[in-house]
Structure 1
Amino acid sequence: MVDLSDKIIELIIDKILIGGIVLAAGYWLNKRFEIFKNETNEKYHQRQLIAELENQQKQQISILEDQIAIAQYNAELEFIERQISEFYWPIYLRLEKDNVMWKRIKSLSSEKNVLPEAASEAIEKEFILKNHQEIVEIIESKIHLAENSNNSKELINELLKYIKHVAIYKTIRSIKELQRFNPIDLNEPFPERIHPLIENKFLELQNRYEYLKKVKLGELRK
């Protein structure tokens, strides 16, 4: 009977121990599962946070790119407006007027429909030379607006020739003994390339200006 009781007690103790071990193991597994779940949730939230930060960064970069594109657009538009209004158009207009008038001046033209000598001298002094001087003043004060163009080097060379031509022209008309001469007689002819260069650049800038006025934001960033 004693042996049977002892065995029963041992069996009960074993079951209690096994139950305790199972409970402990279950508790440990439950805690590990909770830790794993928390870590998984934390990693998920971290990934979400990173994704959100990356998205915000992309949005900020996009906004910045738009701002840069708009700033570049405004800067180019403003510069072209200045090139046209302060340099190319004033010179082009005066060259056009000069083309009309010099052919009527007796000392400058061999055409038949020239003006009488007295009228020619007055127009040459009050219009032609004045027109030339205005162009020279525009060139000297606004030459920087001719930069950054495809033909800027060639154009600037022609503008310098024009300044020399006008200087000689004014000089010989101010000295009585030289008034029978023209600049071409002193190897300073009118630079023939200046008019087409100014005209072509003026038209090119006008086209670019009209294009920019119609362009949309999305096209600015291309």
Structure 2
Amino acid sequence: MENVFTAVIASLTTVTALTAGVVWFGGKATEKLLDVAVSRIEHQHKLNESRFGIAIKSSLDFKSQQLNDFYWPIYIRLQKDNAIWNRILDKRSKDDKIKAIGREIEMNEVLPNHTEIVQIIQSKIHLSQASPELQAALMQYVRHVAVYKAMRAAGDDDRFPIALGEVWPDKLFGLIEANTKGLQKDFDRSLSETLNEGR
């Protein structure tokens, strides 16, 4: 009986040891699988954060380029036109000195300013993401300036493009101003949010 009892004890000890070994190895294997899964999740999270960061930076860079290369340069030049437009009308004055000043302002300020705006439109229109209304106003402006310059080059110094049916795009300044200020506000907000997230 003692041999049976010893055999049962030995069997139980072996089964217990085997069970403990299986549990230990199983626990180690599960731990390793969990470590691998956590590592993969952390890696994916870092990739997503990186992609998100790149997307935000790309968006901010594009908005900055829109403002720096398209909207602000046009807006400031249109403001300049608005400020000196009445001086051009001095060309019609009976006073020869005032008339000469008006002509000088037109030739050395207004027309070069118009030329700069047209160059910006032609080379940077892709940055505008303009509404159909703004696109139409920009194209009307380009046509207006082309006719204006052609009239002066042909020696027609007293009339303006409206005389040839090319009207000034009245909505252009308001549209450029609204887009410039709206985009600047959006850029400032996005930049502030990005900087606050980085803290």
Normalization by structure 1: what TM-score? 0.77
Q: Does 1:62 align with 2:45?
A: yes
Deviation at 1:143, TM superposition (A): 1.2
Instruction: Give the letter for the 1:188 counterpart.
Output: E
Cα distance in structure 1, aligned partners of 2:196 and 2:86:
51
Distance 2:91 2:124 in 1: 29
> Cα distance, 1:163 vs. partner?
0.7
Aligned 8 A contact 2:144 2:161 in 1: yes
Q: Aligned runs of 1:110-121 on 2, under 5 Å?
A: 116-121=98-103
Q: Is the 8 A contact 1:184 1:190 kept in 2?
A: yes
Residues of 1 paired with 2:99 and 2:10: CA distance? 121
Structure 2 distance, partners of 1:217, 1:179, is 54
Counterpart for residue 75 of structure 1: 58
Residues 40-95 of structure 1: per-residue CA shift (max 9 Å, x gap) = 12222222222222222232222222222222222222222221111111110100
Structure-2 change in CA distance of 1:108 and 1:89 (3 Å): farther
Gaps of 5+ in 1: 1-17, 110-114
Give the 5 Å matches for 1:1-222: 18-106=1-89, 116-147=98-129, 151-176=130-155, 178-216=156-194, 219=197
User: Which blocks of at least 5 consecutive residues in structure 2 are unaligned?
Assistant: none
Answer whether contact 1:82 1:145 (CA < 8 A) is retained.
Answer: yes
* Pairs aligned (count): 194
Instruction: Supply the distance in 1 between the matched residues of 2:143 and 2:105 (Cα, whole angstroms).
Output: 21
Give the AA of the match of 1:196: G
How far apart are residue 158 of structure 1 and its match? 1.6
Letter in 2 for 1:173: R
Looking at structure 2, the residues matched to 69 and 85 of structure 1 have their Cα atoms a distance apart, in angstroms, of 24
Distance 1:67 1:83, change over 3 A: same
Q: What's the CA shift for 1:189?
A: 0.8
| Larger-gyration structure (1/2) | 1
Identity among equivalent pairs (%) = 30
For 2:133 and 2:36, locate their aligned partners in 1 and report how far apart those are by CA, in whole Å.
53
SS at match of 1:163: helix
Q: Tell me the secondary structure at the aligned position of residue 88 of structure 2.
A: coil
Distance 2:182 2:7 in 1: 87
With 159-168 and 98-107 compared, the bigger mean Cα shift is at 98-107
Question: Which has the larger helix fraction?
Answer: 2
